[in-house]
Structure formats: structure tokens, C-alpha cells
A and B are shown apart, each in its own frame.
Chain A
Amino acid sequence: MIDIEKLREYGADIDHARISFEGDDAFYLHLIELFIKKNDYKVLCKMVRKNDYRKAYETILNMKGVSGNLSLDPLFRLCSEVTEHLYNADELDYEPYLKQIKKQLDLLADLNK
């Protein structure tokens, strides 16, 4: 089961999260579980590979916002970087970014085991 300490170890800014959720750890963990169950990554991959940067941008933007709101800083930073590129429709090789995002999501999923 995921807990605060595991999240802290992952790199989540727990102090900030506690401010955001006014010390309600249970609610915070509930939201983390919801996030882990979400499957936006697949949508993101699909859009990037189709070069539909607009849709890809909207997806990563949402991921960025949610990870930020949940103080999942490693993922948030990564999403922010990718968001910039997709907003500008930079013609890049996004596969490395996708792998990194996958890795972050897997780490979080592992925390829940």
C-alpha cells in the first residue's frame, strides 16, 4: 500500500502536499491512488506518435497540472519540459521523454504494491 513515506522517498514534496490538502493525508493518498489508476500515458503516446501535437499537448498539460497539484515533483518537472516542447510543436524525438514519463508512472505504481 502506498503511504506518505514511500511518496516522500519517490520525491514527492510532502510538505507542500500537506499544505495543499491541509494535513489530510488520507485524502491526499486517495487522490494519488486515483492518479495511478489513470491511463493518460497511452493517450499521450498515441498522439505523439501520430504527431498530433495539439492533442498530445492537452494530455500532457493535464498530466502536468494533476502531478503539480499532487506535489509529484519528478513527474511534474518532466511534464513541464515536455509541455513546453509540445506547445511549441517542436519536432523532436519524444520517445526518450515518453520512456521517462513511463518510468515515473511505473515508480508510482510500484509504490502502491
Chain B
Amino acid sequence: MALDREQFYTIDNKRMILIVDDEQINREILGFLLRNDYNLIYAVNGREALEKIRENRKNLSMVLMDFIMPELTGLDALKIINADEELKKIPVIMFTADAFTEAEALSSGAVDFISKPFPHPDIIRLRIKVNIELSEGRRIISSTETDALTGLYNRDFFYRYVSEFNKFNPDVKMDALIIDIDHFHLINERFGREYGDRLLCELADMIKEKTDKIGGIACRRVSDTFLVYLKSGADYSKFISSLQKKLDSKDYHVFLRMGVYPNVDKNDDVSGQFTYAKLAADSIRGNFSKAVAVYDNKLKKAELFNEQLVEDFSTAVSEGQFEVYYQPKFNIQGREPFLYSAEALVRWIHPEYDFISPGDFIPLFEENGLISQLDCYVWDAVAAQIAAWKKKYGISIPVSVNVSRIDMLSPGFLDAVRNIISVYGIEPEELILEITESAYVKDTDYVIQATRKLRKMGFRIAMDDFGTGYSSLAMISDLPIDALKIDRSFVNDAIQNEKSRKMLRMVMDIADCLNTITIAEGVENRKQLDLLKSQGCEIIQGFYFSKPVRKEEFEKFIKERAAQLQEESDDSLNRSMIASHMNSDHKSIYHNLSKGLSVFYDSVYYVDMETDNFIEYTTDNGTDHLRVLQVNENFFEYCMIKTRGYVAEDDLNKAMKLWDKKYVVRVLNKQNYISEDYRVVYGDKVNQINVRIMPVAEGNGKYLVVTMSGIGEKILNIIRNELDREKEKSMLSDTDSVTGAFSRLAFIDKGNDLSAHPCKDYAIAYFTVKGLNKDRRNDELKKIYEAIASVFESCDIYRIGADEFVTFIEGKQLKKKDEMLKKFCRRYAHMGDLVIECTMAEKKKGDSVHDVMEKAHELQNKNRKRKK
């Protein structure tokens, strides 16, 4: 039994007594007799006595008070004391020389009466001592009946009372009610115990007032659980809503819930009756649209199962019945999907029920707070697994784990995750934290603050179930997240209808705005994958790739990825090997060169002229991405053999000369590059091959870049006719050296960027220039660039050919595109002898950059035809 520490207050182990008498002699006598045993305070009349009592109400053990006094008599003061719930706990002994007043004093609430003249001092002291002890004893007994915090009956007394009531009123129909507060433990954690206690006291007073009115009794069973027993027939919706309204009006933002067991079976014990009411209340946990639930048999069965799960939880943790499964997530934006990460999903292998679906226990544990323990268990297991896989395969596979709202609100959460990564020696970015959208919605500020801290610590945050939590757009724009995880419902619906596809596109656009990657879950078939890919979704999770699997099975995905990475790392290795031979300028030139050339050539060779070792790159993986095809030696011999087998007879000498090392060195000493064509024959097809050989950097003949292309006459003509040295330089840089516009290379980058964001809208203005004067060409091009820039403000301008410019009109500028086009044509269609043609095409659904360019180009052709 908990005792109130202040209940039996003492100073220096002495209790405090107030002596009240208007007669100084009597005060001194009593003071003299009691001075050694008690701390004494004095008052000279009833009014002063009340002041002193109120002042010392927590500390006073007794009041000794004269009956007749001026201002306020002892009797009147006694009546006031007994009308006060708190003050009446202090025992009062009255004294007077009037024997007739004894009965009146006792009936007014005095615990004893001492006559004057005073009896023997020992008798006075004994009567005081006994009465103090009796009073304290009564309070102890009383505290076993009532709840110390709220003053309502406690559970034991309440049960006894209800039991007795049932015994003597077997025919009266009664209802058992349970009232509790949703997630009360979080209120205590967040706002402190004092706040929580205040809330409970206020709620207790409201319940008492209500039940007193209806005719019932109430108790606090434990924590935030209140029991009410009352005659059947009350309107419980009104009951709970009136309590809720009162709490709301006092600014307690909590949600009350009530379970009702109507017309109780009095054969059940009292505890059982309220268990049914509790089952009903628990059935609406988390359902904020319903505050009252009435018990029925279906509930009984379901909740008994849940109770069993809760009971079994500790054993399940200690015996390792919870097993972590891993579902792979694949990046689909490359040529081939590759393993990006995994999601950890917990499964319960129960000894009695075998495989229990997470849907059966996760919501349950979320409700009762056990989810925090389970999550910690999973995080720990996952961190250990990441570390183990890293050690075994030498690669890091990030794994995402679920973080519930309850975890986020837990004060020790940040330390817990920090501790876990430190224990297993993994990096924070390897443990991705998935937080549901609803968590952000319910405790926005707190959760955002916590996620900011997590990101600062290095963790990556994914918003789970995006699209289901009713986030506001304003809130979303502030979210500190790294990935949006699109709920499976979007994926399913998007296949079915256009409206959902639009919704999906909007979600992708939101992700784009937030600069986060998108992860789609629940992808089950190729159709869904293709749709998501076309919409720009980067990461896919779902049965299409794999269901969640045991860790052993998941390792096959890691092995595949490890092999891929090995290949890529060879590539990087070779690049770095090559790069190590160059100074920083040359590195940059090489980077640009290989990138630029890759647009036009099928293969690029990097050749060490001292050793003849070479690396062959291929561009078949996309224009912006060279892939290492082979690392080999004896470059010139290799090419000679390879060419000899296919070269057309007429071109044999020309080709063989090209693969003569001495010839190459000699020519490159005189000129900057070698460009040569020869034909090759594959069966009955003849193809023109262009070979270009150049040093990686001007003046550095130690390393060569050799490119070969068989893509056709068109490109070859471009190279032959247009790639003078200046133009080539321009091509390999982001900036055009003549005009200051962005280069063709930058244009390619821009095209790639837009391809990765297919939802982005834009228009392309395409300019061609006619009448350039050979001598003033550069100046004229510069003027044209400035003219374009003056009209297409804030738009990036690219020089993509000798006499071609392009600009992308995006964002807010898009609205003004037609206006800008007209303005340009009006002002700059003719600049002296120069004629500038400008056409514009807007990107439509599904268009690539190439398509839009084609449209703009086509428009110019049409214009020309029309003019002719």
C-alpha cells in the first residue's frame, strides 16, 4: 500500500499540534505539558485557528481547541473544519470547563473531549497520543478503500462493493463500463508525470460527478483505466462525449475510449465482468471515429487470441521466435535492375499457432506499446545481419527497418539506434529508417524534429505508405526525408485506370520536388514495373522480384550484386589505374573526351604507348556511361588481327597502316589527331568504320584515345566536316568557348537529366543560323547567343552545332513560351545578313527529349517548305 509521505508529517520525529485557546494560561499549561513530545503552534481564537490549520494542513497531527472563544468559537471552527474534505482528516480534541458541551463537541466532529480543569498530565498526553494514532489508523484504512491519486475507490474496494451490491440486488440490471485514454503512457512520457496525474484527477472528478448523477460508482483500476458500475440504460455515447468535451475545453488533447459490457451476468465474478468491457474498449483502439464499443461474443474470441499473443511476447523474444525476413528492393533505372537494398520484415513462428501473420500482431503491439521492444529486437538483428553480410561478401547492402510512431516518441529512441549501429560497427546510412506517413501527420512537429536529428546523425529516412496518411502539401514540403515509399494501393490502381495513373504521376512529381527517390512497393508484374519505370520510379519492391525471404535465401541476391559490383569495380579500378598516370588537367580532359566521344563512337580504347597495354570501353550501355569491355595488351597487334579478318580488300593497306604503331607516332608528332575510314565486310553487309586516334591531352603522346565507330555516314560526315579542333574542344567542355553558351555535351547531360524525370514539362526552342560570315563568324555567333539570352531570360542556352542553338523552357517560364518565341522572331529573325530561324516544340505525354527536338526540327523544315 502506498502511503502519502506527508500524511504523517513530523519534524525531528515530532508531530505537530495546534493549541487554540483565548486564555493564555491554558495555552501555556498545555504547551508546558506537551512541549517535549510535539511541535506546537498556537492560535487565540477560531478564526486564527482556521488560518493556521489551512497553512499547516499537510503537517498537522492534531488540534486542541477550546470550546468558547471570541470572534469564532471553537464549535463553529470545528464545523468549518469538518465541512472541508481535506481539513476534516485532522483530528480535533475540544476542551472546556462546561461539561454540558461534551456531546455537542463530539457530534460536531471532535474526536475527543477534555474537561477543565485539566485532568492528570499523563491522561492528557495519553488521550492526545491515542487519538492521533486512531486518526492515522483511520486514514490508513481509508487509503485502502480509495485511490490515493484521484480519491475514487480503488479496485479492491470497488470489486468488493460491486460484489456485495450484486448479492443483495440480484435482479437489478447493471452495466459494466471501462473508460481509458488512448496512448496515455505517451502523454506521461511527453508531458511528464505531473501533467498526466493532473489529467487523471480531472477525469476522475468528471467521472465521479457523472456517475453520482446517474446512480453508479466508479473506481480507478490502474493508470488511466477507470471502471464504472451503474444501472442499465444510460446513453453511453452522451456519457463519453460529455467527458470528452470537458477535457477538450480544458485543453487536454486526448482521446477517450469506452467499453461497455451491458446487462452483466452476475454469475461472472466482478473482475470478469469488467474484462468483457475492456475487450470491447480495446476493439476500438486507434479508431478515432468510434469512442464507445459494446461487448459481443465475436469480440471475446478475437481478444482472447490477442491476449494470448501479448502474454507470449516475452517468451517469443527470449526464445527467438521472431524471425527477420528480407525483401529485396531493386533499382530499375539502369539497363538491368540491380539490388539496391532490402526491407526487414518480422515474422512470428509461434510454437502453437505456427506462422502468425504480422497483420495479426503488429497492430496489437503498436497499441499496447510492445512494438518498441519488437522494433528494437528487429533493428538489432538487422544491424547484426548487415555487418555479417558485409564481412562475408565485402559489400554493404542497406536494409530498411520500420520505425513506429511510438518509437519516435520514445525519449530513448535516438540513443537506441545510435547504440545499435555502434555495437555492430555499421554506418548509419546502412540502416534505413522507414517511418509511416501517419506518424508525421499525428505528431508533425515532434516527428519532423526527430527525423532531422536522425538525418544529422547520418541515417537515411524513407516515408512509408506515402499517400495514405493525409499529409498536407505544406507539411510535405518541409519533410526531412530521403525517399518516398509509394503505397501499394497506388501501384495496383495505376494499372487499372487513367485517373490512378495520374495520381501516381503526381506522387512522382512530389518526390521530384522534394528531391527524393521513389520506392514502389507491392509490384507484382512486368506491366506494373514498366509503368513505374516510365514514370521515373527508381526503386521497386514486390513479388515481381521476390517475396520476403529468409536471410539465407536473400544471400543469392547479394551474391549477384557482389558480382555486378566486382565488374564495376574493375571498371573503376582501370579508370583509376589510368588516371594515376595523368596529372589533374589530363584527368579532366580524359573524362570529357571519353564522355564526349561516347556519344558518337561504339568503342573507345585507352592505350598506353609505352607498354601497348589497353582498355577497351564500350558505349552500348548508353551514351553517358562507358563500360569496360576488356583490359588487354599489344594494342596494335590486336587491332591489326581483328581488322584483317573483316576489312574490305580495297582498304586493307589503309587499315593496316593505321595499326602500325610507328606510323601513328609519326603522324601524331605532326598533327593533333588521325582520322581514317575503312570499310569492313560482315557477310553481305558493308559498313563504314571511322577510326580516330588522338592523345588524351594535347602534348601528351604517352596515352592515346582511339575511337571506332560504325554507326553510319551521317555521324562520319559530322565528324569530317564539322569537328575542327575548336569545335571539338567545345564539344568536350560544358561551355561553348565561342559563345559562352552551354555546349553540346551539356545538352546531352540535360537530355539525360530530363529522361530521368519523365514527368517534368518543358518546351524546346530550336534556332538555326544562316548567312554566317567566315571572318566574323565567332562574333556573329556571340551576338546571336546574346540575342537569344535577352529574350529567353533564365533559360539555359545550348550551342549544339556550328549554327544551331537550343534552349529549354521550363517551370514558370513555360507559361510565357509563346510570347518569348514571338518576341524573338519579331526582333531577331534578321540580324543584318544573318537569318535566324526559330521554332518551338512542347513536350507532350510520353515524349523523350529526342522526340521534342525532332518536332522542333520538323517545324523548321515545314516553315522552309512553306516559304519556298
- Name A's B-contacting residues (CB within 8 A): 19-22, 24, 27, 31, 34-35, 58, 61-62, 64-66, 68-71, 76, 83, 87
Query: Which of B24, B32, B98 makes the CB contact (< 8 A) with A24?
Result: B32
- Whether A68 contacts B24 by the Cβ 8 Å rule is no
In the complex, whether B118 has a CB less than 8 A from a CB of chain A is yes
Residue of B22, B25, B29, B98 ringed by the most chain A CB atoms within 10 A: B25
- Whether B32 contacts A65 by the Cβ 8 Å rule is no
- Whether A34 contacts B32 by the Cβ 8 Å rule is no
- Whether B121 contacts A76 by the Cβ 8 Å rule is no
Query: Which of B24, B100, B116 makes the CB contact (< 8 A) with A87?
Result: B100
- Whether A70 contacts B25 by the Cβ 8 Å rule is yes
Question: Given A61-B96, A65-B96, are A22 and B24 also a contact pair (CB < 8 Å)?
Answer: no
Give 8 A-B contacts (CB < 8 Å), ordered by A residue.
A19-B121, A34-B25, A61-B96, A65-B23, A66-B26, A68-B117, A69-B117, A83-B97
Chain A residue, CB-CB nearest to B29: A69
In the complex, whether B628 has a CB less than 8 A from a CB of chain A is no
Within 8 A of A (CB), among B1-57: 22-26, 28-29, 32-33
Whole-angstrom distance between the Cβ of A81 and the nearest chain B Cβ: 13
Chain A residue, CB-CB nearest to B118: A69
Bound complex: CA of A62 vs CA of B116, how far in Å?
9
Chain B residues with CB under 8 A of A62: 22-23, 68, 97
- Whether A31 contacts B68 by the Cβ 8 Å rule is no
In the complex, whether B120 has a CB less than 8 A from a CB of chain A is yes
Chain A residues with CB under 8 A of B33: 22
- Whether A68 contacts B116 by the Cβ 8 Å rule is yes
Whole-angstrom distance between the Cβ of B667 and the nearest chain A Cβ: 132
- Whether B25 contacts A69 by the Cβ 8 Å rule is yes
Give me the 6 closest cross-chain CB pairs, A-B, nearest first: A68-B117, A65-B116, A65-B97, A69-B117, A61-B97, A64-B97
Chain B residues with CB under 8 A of A21: 29, 32
Question: Given A58-B68, A87-B98, A87-B100, are A65 and B26 also a contact pair (CB < 8 Å)?
Answer: yes
Query: Which of B23, B32, B96 makes the CB contact (< 8 A) with A66?
Result: B23
Task: Name 13 extra pairs, CB < 8 A, besides A19-B121, A69-B117.
Answer: A20-B120, A22-B33, A61-B68, A62-B22, A62-B23, A65-B97, A66-B25, A68-B97, A68-B116, A68-B117, A69-B26, A69-B29, A83-B97
Whole-angstrom distance between the Cβ of A104 and the nearest chain B Cβ: 16
Residue of B26, B29, B33, B97 ringed by the most chain A CB atoms within 10 A: B97
- Whether B117 contacts A76 by the Cβ 8 Å rule is yes
Chain A residues with CB under 8 A of B96: 61, 65
Query: Which of B117, B118, B121 makes the CB contact (< 8 A) with A22?
Result: B121
Bound complex: CA of A45 vs CA of B118, how far in Å?
26
Chain B residue, CB-CB nearest to A62: B23
- The interface on chain B, measured as residues whose beta carbon lies within 8 A of the other chain's beta carbons, has a size of 19
Residue of B24, B29, B96, B120 ringed by the most chain A CB atoms within 10 A: B29
Bound complex: CA of A105 vs CA of B238, how far in Å?
75
Residue of A21, A61, A70, A83 ringed by the most chain B CB atoms within 10 A: A61
Question: Given A58-B68, A65-B117, are A31 and B97 also a contact pair (CB < 8 Å)?
Answer: no
Chain A residues with CB under 8 A of B116: 64-65, 68-69
Bound complex: CA of A87 vs CA of B99, how far in Å?
11
Chain B residues with CB under 8 A of A71: 117
- Whether B121 contacts A20 by the Cβ 8 Å rule is yes
Whole-angstrom distance between the Cβ of B285 and the nearest chain A Cβ: 67
Bound complex: CA of A62 vs CA of B67, how far in Å?
10
Query: Which of B28, B98, B118 makes the CB contact (< 8 A) with A31?
Result: B28
Chain A residue, CB-CB nearest to B67: A61
Whole-angstrom distance between the Cβ of A95 and the nearest chain B Cβ: 23
Whole-angstrom distance between the Cβ of B99 and the nearest chain A Cβ: 10
- Whether A19 contacts B120 by the Cβ 8 Å rule is yes
Chain B residues with CB under 8 A of A65: 23, 26, 96-97, 116-117
Chain B residue, CB-CB nearest to A58: B68
Bound complex: CA of A109 vs CA of B116, how far in Å?
23
Bound complex: CA of A20 vs CA of B28, how far in Å?
13
Bound complex: CA of A95 vs CA of B120, how far in Å?
34
Q: Mark B58-84, 1 if CB is under 8 A from A, else 0.
A: 000000000010000000000000000
Chain B residues with CB under 8 A of A31: 25, 28-29
Chain A residues with CB under 8 A of B29: 20-21, 31, 69
Whole-angstrom distance between the Cβ of B97 and the nearest chain A Cβ: 4
Q: Mark B815-842, 1 if CB is under 8 A from A, else 0.
A: 0000000000000000000000000000
Bound complex: CA of A15 vs CA of B454, how far in Å?
86
Bound complex: CA of A1 vs CA of B91, how far in Å?
42
Bound complex: CA of A65 vs CA of B22, how far in Å?
12
Chain A residue, CB-CB nearest to B100: A87
Bound complex: CA of A21 vs CA of B29, how far in Å?
8
Whole-angstrom distance between the Cβ of A30 and the nearest chain B Cβ: 8
Bound complex: CA of A110 vs CA of B246, how far in Å?
74
Chain B residue, CB-CB nearest to A70: B25
Query: Which of A20, A61, A68, A76 makes the CB contact (< 8 A) with B98?
Result: A61
Whole-angstrom distance between the Cβ of B125 and the nearest chain A Cβ: 11
Within 8 A of A (CB), among B387-421: none
Question: Given A35-B25, A68-B117, are A27 and B97 also a contact pair (CB < 8 Å)?
Answer: no
Chain A residue, CB-CB nearest to B68: A58
Chain B residues with CB under 8 A of A68: 97, 116-117
Q: Mark B306-325, 1 if CB is under 8 A from A, else 0.
A: 00000000000000000000
Chain B residue, CB-CB nearest to A69: B117
Within 8 A of A (CB), among B454-500: none
Within 8 A of A (CB), among B70-119: 96-98, 100, 116-118
Chain B residues with CB under 8 A of A58: 68
Question: Given A65-B23, A66-B23, A66-B25, are A20 and B118 also a contact pair (CB < 8 Å)?
Answer: yes
Bound complex: CA of A82 vs CA of B68, how far in Å?
18
Bound complex: CA of A66 vs CA of B116, how far in Å?
8
Whole-angstrom distance between the Cβ of A1 and the nearest chain B Cβ: 19
Bound complex: CA of A91 vs CA of B29, how far in Å?
35
Bound complex: CA of A47 vs CA of B116, how far in Å?
22
Bound complex: CA of A104 vs CA of B25, how far in Å?
19
Whole-angstrom distance between the Cβ of A28 and the nearest chain B Cβ: 10
Whole-angstrom distance between the Cβ of A19 and the nearest chain B Cβ: 7
Question: Given A24-B32, A69-B29, A87-B100, are A34 and B24 also a contact pair (CB < 8 Å)?
Answer: yes
Bound complex: CA of A69 vs CA of B32, how far in Å?
13
Chain A residue, CB-CB nearest to B70: A58
Chain B residue, CB-CB nearest to A38: B25
